[in-house]
């Protein structure tokens, strides 16, 4: 089930009737800003998760190295 050309035309006609030709560019601009903000929020969340994973990997590697150093000092 996909949206055809006639459905898109109908939706655009209804939007034009509701908002009018004068407000339509402003409404579309605001909608574009909202979409960009949403995408950047998702990307920031992904970046934070990858940073946490890399910090966890670095921490476990440094702890493992420190334990090896302590073991070699004891020997």
Query: Residue 33: pLDDT above 90?
Result: yes
Q: Name, in order, each residue with C-beta under 8 angstroms of 15's C-beta and a sequence gap of 6 or more.
A: 24, 27
Q: Which residue stretches of 1-75 are H helix?
A: 5-74
Predicted confidence at residue 6, as pLDDT, reads 93
Q: What are the extents of the domains in the chain?
A: 30-59
What would the pLDDT profile of 35-55 be if each residue is shown by its tens digit?
999 999 888 877 777 767 666
């Amino acid at each position: 089930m996909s949206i055809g050309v006639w459905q898109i035309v109908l939706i655009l006609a209804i939007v034009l009737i509701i908002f009018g030709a004068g407000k339509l560019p402003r409404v579309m601009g605001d909608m574009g800003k909202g979409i960009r903000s949403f995408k950047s929020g998702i990307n920031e969340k992904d970046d934070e998760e990858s940073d946490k994973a890399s910090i966890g990997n670095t921490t476990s590697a440094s702890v493992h190295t420190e334990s090896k150093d302590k073991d070699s000092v004891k020997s």
